[in-house]
Amino acid sequence: MKAVRFFGHKDVRVVNDIERPVPKGDEVLLKIGGAGVCHSDLHIIDEGTVVGTVFTLGHENAGWIEEIGENVEGYKKGDAVLVYGPWGCGHCKPCQQSKENYCDHQSEQAYGGGLGLDGGMADYMLVPSSRLLVPIFDLDPVIAAPLTDAALTPYSAIKRSLPKLMADEYVVVIGVGGLGHVALQILREISGAEIIACDVTEDKLAFAKQLGAAYVINSKDADAAEQIQKITGIKKAKVVLDFVGATSTIDLGTKVVSLDGDLTIVGLGGGHYQYSMNGLPFGVSMTNPYWGSRTELMEVVGLARQKKIHIEIEKHKLDDANEVYDRMRQGKIKGRAVLVP
Ligand code: NAD
Ligand code: ZN
Ligand code: ZN
């Protein structure tokens, strides 16, 4: 079968000689409908966040059950499912609570399919357990694939700040890419706060307005923080969601977040933050959430089935993976690119 393989630093190749796996025991073989292209892949490919192993990329996956191992119950050939991405041990307390993204054993195992183990940028993908599948019913797997990360990750980050996102508050969203464009819609649907969106190009800012941002600011502007403070006034923004995670965006976040606010850094842009008592308002919670839980993914499917969130998608062939990654490096993708075998 065909697969998009990571061979090492800046070396991604589309190959045709991968054997189609056969599921045993608890395993499930999926026929892939779509595999989303996440910026985290670029951190792996360009910056070496996963090293020393060759594997198939693609950690945002959806498809149809093709074959099941002898122990799998409750699924049959043709069922449409998402693959929950952060694969935990399945046994520890966080895993039992469905929060495999915070599995006790994360430091000693690969993060999941497409993140050290074979992922979904291929004709078929082997999933180690049906525990990691979430049914999508009438949703199309091509459109649904990015729900597993581009929607689940912002959803989980927003949910933890929800009590602070009331109608008299402001929320700042930095980065209106794959994750950020869904974050805006989730905020619009489940919170009352007024949204201020930041990106670095005019087309992304116009896109943000369409998705529910009341205000847009170009974060390249030297006075971006002052522009935001002009909108929020002295109270500042109760929640800042940073989907870039560069030193400059973390710096912007610390300048605009309010007393007792949340500064949530989702982006893995390699930024640094030096704590200083005067640099951060009192009471601020600074967090770096990772992905979301299995049950939160079910809630995200609910939002999509009710048409409350819509992922803007461009479809591409597996053969075009390297060109798609290049366009992502240049910030040229609107919404999410999905590879369709
Ligand atoms: P993307 O490439 O689709 O979008 C990034 C967006 O940020 C683009 O619109 C780009 O124009 C914008 N941007 C770049 N620099 C900016 C700046 N200085 N100010 C404002 N906007 C800026 O990326 P994505 O797939 O949405 O991923 C975003 C980040 O989140 C990546 O670092 C990715 O690795 C990370 N991520 C983290 C998790 C997690 O669980 N913590 C999960 C998925 C992705
Ligand atoms: Zn991702
Ligand atoms: Zn675990």
**Percent of the chain surpassing pLDDT 70:** 100
Name the 3-class secondary structure at 102: helix
259-270 pLDDT tens trace: 999 999 999 999
Q: Do 140 and 10 lie in a common domain?
A: yes
pLDDT on residue 258: 98
**Distance between Cα 108 and ligand 1 center (Å):** 26
Cβ pair 31, 63 in contact under 8 A: yes
**Tokens standing for residue 261:** 């606010």
User: Under DSSP, is residue 67 helix (H, G, I), strand (E, B) or coil?
Assistant: strand
Kindly report the CA angle at 68 between 66 and 72, in degrees rounded to 5? 145
Q: Whose Cα sits closest to atom 30 in ligand 1?
A: 267
Q: Which ligand is nearest to the CA of 94?
A: 3
Say yes or no: 26 and 144 in one domain.
yes
Choice from 59, 250, 268 to test ligand 1 binding pocket (greatest atom count within 8 A of CB): 268
- pTM: predicted TM-score of the whole model, two decimal places: 0.98
What is the position in ligand 1's atom list of the atom closest to the CA of 180?
26
Distance from C-alpha of 58 to C-alpha of 19, rounded to nearest angstrom? 17
Same domain, yes or no, for 140 and 88? yes
Angle 318-114-187 (CA atoms, 0-180°, nearest 5)? 95
Residue 9 pLDDT class (50, 70, 90 cuts): very high
DSSP letter (8 states) at residue 222: T
Whole-number Å distance, alpha carbon 177 to ligand 1 midpoint, is 6
Q: Give the type of residue at 243.
A: F
Query: Quick one: 174 and 277 in the same domain?
Result: yes
Report which bound ligand comes closest to the CA of 88. 3
* 181 contact partners, CB below 8 Å, separation of at least 6: 207, 208, 211, 311, 312, 335, 336
**Banded pLDDT at 31 (limits 50, 70, 90):** very high
State the ligand closest to the CA atom of 251.
Answer: 1
267 lines ligand 1 (CB under 6 A): yes
Confidence of residue 95 (pLDDT cuts 50, 70, 90): very high
Amino acid at the residue 66:
E
Same domain, 11 and 135: yes
Q: Is the pLDDT of residue 110 over 90?
A: no
Domain of 272 in residue numbering reads as 152-287
- Residue located via tokens 């075009």: 320
Question: What is the dihedral angle through the alpha carbons of 310, 316, 317, 320, rounded to the nearest 10 degrees?
Answer: -140
Rounded to an integer, the average pLDDT of 184-213 is 98
Could you tell me if the CB of 40 is within 6 A of ligand 1? yes
CATH of the domain at 198: 3.40.50.720
Ligand 1, atom nearest to 290 Cα: 40
- The DSSP string of 172-206 is EEE--SHHHHHHHHHHHHH--PEEEEEESSHHHHH
Going 221 to 223 to 225 to 228, the CA torsion angle's sign is negative
Q: Are 196 and 172 in contact (CB under 8 A)?
A: yes
What single-letter DSSP state applies at residue 112? E
Residues 141 and 164 in one domain: no
Instruction: Indicate whether residue 178 lines ligand 1 (CB < 6 A).
Output: yes
| Ligand number nearest to the C-alpha of 102 | 3
Q: Do the bridges between strand 28-36 and strand 336-339 make them parallel or antiparallel, or are there none, so unpaired?
A: antiparallel
pLDDT for 51 beyond 80: no
For ligand 1, the distance from its centroid to the CA atom of residue 311, given in whole angstroms, is 15
pLDDT band at 109 (very low <50, low <70, confident <90, very high): confident
Whole-number Å distance, alpha carbon 92 to ligand 1 midpoint, is 31
Tokens matching residue 180: 């950020």
pLDDT classification of 298: cutoffs 50, 70, 90: very high
Protein residue with least CA distance to atom 13, ligand 1:
175
pLDDT at 49: 72
Strand order from edge to edge, sheet including 55-56: 11-15, 3-8, 55-56
CATH number of the domain residue 71 falls in = 3.90.180.10
Question: Which pLDDT score is estimated for 281?
Answer: 96
Closest residue by CA, ligand 1 atom 11: 331
Same domain for 240 and 300: no
